[in-house]
């Protein structure tokens, strides 16, 4: 039986990043031709525009954002936590409705990161952690792979 995927829209070539570019990955774009793939961007699902100001998690971790004790703020200080949480909830709904088998989300993003995120200082400093969408998916039993995890798995199969 063919696996069903939920993938960050930017990894599939959609220009939905904060700066209106994509993070297209050839191996992930290829999946679109061979498997059932749902592509979505949680930040846009949550109501943010494109382009938008870059945002980072402040004063805590993604789970703290979900429970209201930390925030996601953009670089000019606007609190976009509500949009990030709404986007995470819509991604979870997609994952559950489509019963996806594999989730591949973009590393380093405050929504989609699964191993690393930026530290909240807007200095491109990475720390261990994961994004708000990843946190909610993990809370509901989904394993989240980064594009790097996925590419490494593909290499192992060669």
- Among residues 72 and 158, whose Cβ is nearest to ligand SF4? 72
Does 52 interact with ligand SF4 (rule: CB under 6 A)? Answer: no
- Give the shortest CB-23-to-ligand SF4 separation in angstroms: 6
Q: Which residue is listed with tokens 């998916």?
A: 137
- Give the shortest CB-140-to-ligand SF4 separation in angstroms: 18
Does 65 interact with ligand SF4 (rule: CB under 6 A)? Answer: no
Number of residues that make up the chain: 158
Does 10 interact with ligand SF4 (rule: CB under 6 A)? Answer: yes
Q: 50, 10 in Cβ contact below 8 A?
A: no
- Among residues 3 and 20, whose Cβ is nearest to ligand SF4? 20
Count how many Cα atoms sit within 13 Å of the Cα of residue 157 in the half-sphere of its side chain.
Answer: 6
Stretch that binds ligand SF4, among 5-13, 75-83, 94-102, 148-156 (CB under 6 A): 5-13
Q: Using CB under 6 A, which of 25, 31, 37, 43 touches ligand SF4? A: 43
Dist. CA 144–CA 44, nearest whole Å: 19
Question: Which segments of 2-157 are extended strands (E)?
Answer: 4-8, 36-40, 55-58, 71-74, 102-105, 116-118, 126-128, 144-146
Does 81 interact with ligand SF4 (rule: CB under 6 A)? Answer: no
Contacts of 36 (CB under 8 A, 6+ apart): 2, 4, 5, 98
Which residues contribute to the site for ligand SF4 (CB under 6 A)?
8-10, 16-17, 41-43, 106, 109, 111-112
């Amino acid at each position: 039986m063919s696996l069903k995927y939920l993938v960050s829209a930017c990894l599939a070539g959609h220009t939905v990043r904060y700066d209106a570019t994509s993070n297209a990955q050839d191996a992930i774009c290829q999946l679109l031709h061979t498997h059932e793939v749902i592509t979505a961007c949680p930040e846009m699902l949550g109501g943010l525009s494109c382009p938008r100001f870059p945002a980072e998690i402040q004063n805590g971790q993604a789970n703290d954002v979900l429970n209201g004790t930390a925030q996601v703020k953009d670089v000019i200080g606007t609190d976009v936590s509500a949009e990030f949480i709404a986007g995470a909830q819509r991604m979870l709904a997609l994952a559950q409705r489509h019963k996806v088998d594999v989730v591949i989300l973009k590393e380093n993003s405050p929504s989609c990161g699964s191993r690393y995120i930026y530290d909240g200082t807007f200095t491109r400093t990475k720390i261990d952690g994961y994004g708000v969408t990843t946190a909610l998916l993990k809370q509901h039993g989904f394993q989240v792979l980064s594009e790097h995890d996925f590419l490494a798995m593909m290499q192992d199969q060669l």
